[in-house]
Chain A
Amino acid sequence: DGGITQSPKYLFRKEGQNVTLSCEQNLNHDAMYWYRQDPGQGLRLIYYSQIVNDFQKGDIAEGYSVSREKKESFPLTVTSAQKNPTAFYLCASRPESYYGYTFGSGTRLTVV
């Protein structure tokens, strides 16, 4: 079955370390998105990509980086510059002709 796979589901890292969250889709979708979710704050857009080798900053891009070398993959790196990285991270994708998103099951990152 087609879908979006985020891995790992739970991730623990020490403060000051960079960490990369994986997002892979086999839906042949063009656009991919990263959102951060915190209790009571809804979903906030970190980065998005409409096509391979191109991406744009969202509302809270500081302290994060992404790459889009393949259509299927859109990894997110949480760098040591991100002041409060503990959160639930959601990846989503969308085909060109449709406005609704398909979401992955999320990665919960805890920095200790």
Chain B
Amino acid sequence: AQSVTQLGSHVSVSEGALVLLRCNYSSSVPPYLFWYVQYPNQGLQLLLKYTTGATLVKGINGFEAEFKKSETSFHLTKPSAHMSDAAEYFCAVRLTGNTPLVFGKGTRLSVIA
């Protein structure tokens, strides 16, 4: 079975500070990993994904994530938070094949001016 754990349901940072959103997964096979962002009353938008290859993945809006197999982690970072980054962020995992994505419970990011 696969599962995703996002540490911290709510993270608050100051504008210009580092953003770090944590995601750990469990999977018996090499996973495909995703980060999505959701703004209020909207659908989810793909930020970045890891499938194979380079373990440091760059996404949209200045976000990046690093796949660390030894730590079973895929944490999302951004060097400098902007007010527009305030949203909910979801980590998701998928095995190879056609199994559906499994999502974490989400982390709400607040950015303080």
Bound Cα distance from A58 to B102, whole angstroms: 11
Show the binding face of B for A, using Cβ within 8 Å. 9, 32, 34, 36, 41-46, 49, 51, 90, 94, 98, 100-106
> How far apart are B6's CB and chain A's nearest CB, in angstroms?
8
The answer on a CB contact under 8 Å between A90 and B43 is yes
Q: Are B100 and A103 in contact (CB under 8 A)?
A: no
A-B contact pairs, 25 of them (CB 8 A): A33-B100, A35-B103, A40-B9, A40-B106, A41-B105, A42-B90, A42-B103, A42-B104, A42-B105, A43-B90, A43-B103, A48-B100, A50-B98, A58-B100, A88-B41, A90-B43, A92-B44, A99-B32, A99-B94, A100-B34, A101-B101, A103-B36, A103-B44, A104-B43, A105-B43
Q: Indicate if the CB atoms of A99 and B106 lie closer than 8 Å.
A: no
B43 A99 Cβ-Cβ under 8 A = no
Q: How many residues of A contact B (CB 8 A)?
A: 25
Q: Is the CB of B105 within 8 A of A40?
A: yes
B103 and A105 contact, CB distance less than 8 A: no
Q: A43-B103, A100-B34 are in contact. List 12 more A-B contacts (CB 8 A).
A: A40-B106, A42-B105, A45-B102, A88-B41, A90-B43, A92-B44, A99-B49, A99-B51, A101-B46, A101-B101, A103-B43, A106-B43
Q: Which residue of B lies closest to A104 (CB)?
A: B43
Residues of A within 8 A of B (CB): 4, 6, 9, 31, 33, 35, 40-43, 45, 48, 50, 58, 88, 90, 92, 99-101, 103-106, 108
